[in-house]
Amino acid sequence: MARGKQKKNYLTIFAEVISIILSPVNMVAFMILGISLKFNIPMISFVAILCPFFIFTAVYFIYKVFIKRDSDVDLSKLRMRRHIGVTTFVGFAISFIISHQYYPFLDWNFLRAGIIVLISGLVTLKWKISYHAIGYASFCFTFIELFGTPWLLSLLGLPLVFWARMYLKKHTFAQLSAGTILSGVIII
């Protein structure tokens, strides 16, 4: 074992796996899949419409983590993640404009998601809100709306998200609750 490196316990590994599986990136992918299925939109065209959103987010992430090297992969520290929400909102706004041209019936879905991205981005300028909670709660509420009450069971995963992020000391209960409430209020 290298000096300074400690062996991870099973709970830490489990919390990391949960954080990866229920990450905002994966939840966005599931929401894209769900909306594509519900509205019979070819996946490739929906993903193409969202390219500005993905590109702006990816460029910020790559810059902070791999070029500037002042952040970890989780963008854990507030000062390292301050502008990701605002940057992401710009990409999302461009995606909304493109989507409106081809799929205007998705305007309501895009508007709500854009509001979540904007508010979380503005909050993150001063306070660390949980993007994991926002992503997972948004996924749950979107699927409940799209596919009905059986998806209420997906809410049972929220305590797992809370536990994993708090166990890894990435967020407080208040930060996770704020992310969940933000998604719930806007989507419901």
Strand segments (E) across 77-178 = none
Report residue 133 CA to chain centroid gap: 8
Q: What is the predicted pLDDT for the residue at 78?
A: 67
Q: What is the predicted pLDDT for the residue at 88?
A: 85
Residue 6 sits at φ, ψ, to 5 deg, of -105, 150
- pLDDT tens series, the chain, 188 aa: 455 566 789 999 999 999 999 999 899 999 999 999 999 999 999 999 999 989 988 888 888 878 888 777 666 676 677 777 778 888 999 999 999 999 999 999 999 999 999 999 889 888 999 999 999 999 999 999 999 999 999 999 999 999 999 999 999 999 999 999 999 999 98
Q: Which two tokens stand for residue 147?
A: 């596919």
Q: What is the predicted pLDDT for the residue at 5?
A: 61
Q: Which of 170, 161, 160 is nearest to 74 (CA)?
A: 170
Q: Which two tokens stand for residue 18?
A: 């949960």
Q: What is the predicted pLDDT for the residue at 51?
A: 93
Q: What is the predicted pLDDT for the residue at 1?
A: 46
The reply to whether the predicted model has a pTM over 0.85 is: yes
Q: What is the predicted pLDDT for the residue at 27?
A: 95
CA dihedral (62, 168, 177, 161) positive or negative: positive
62-101 core/surface letters (b: 16 or more CB in 10 A; e: else): eebbeeeeebeebbeeeebbbebbbbbbbbbbbbbebbee
Amino acid at 124: T
Q: What is the predicted pLDDT for the residue at 57?
A: 83
Taking the C-alpha atoms of residue 116 and residue 107, their distance in angstroms, rounded to an integer, is 14
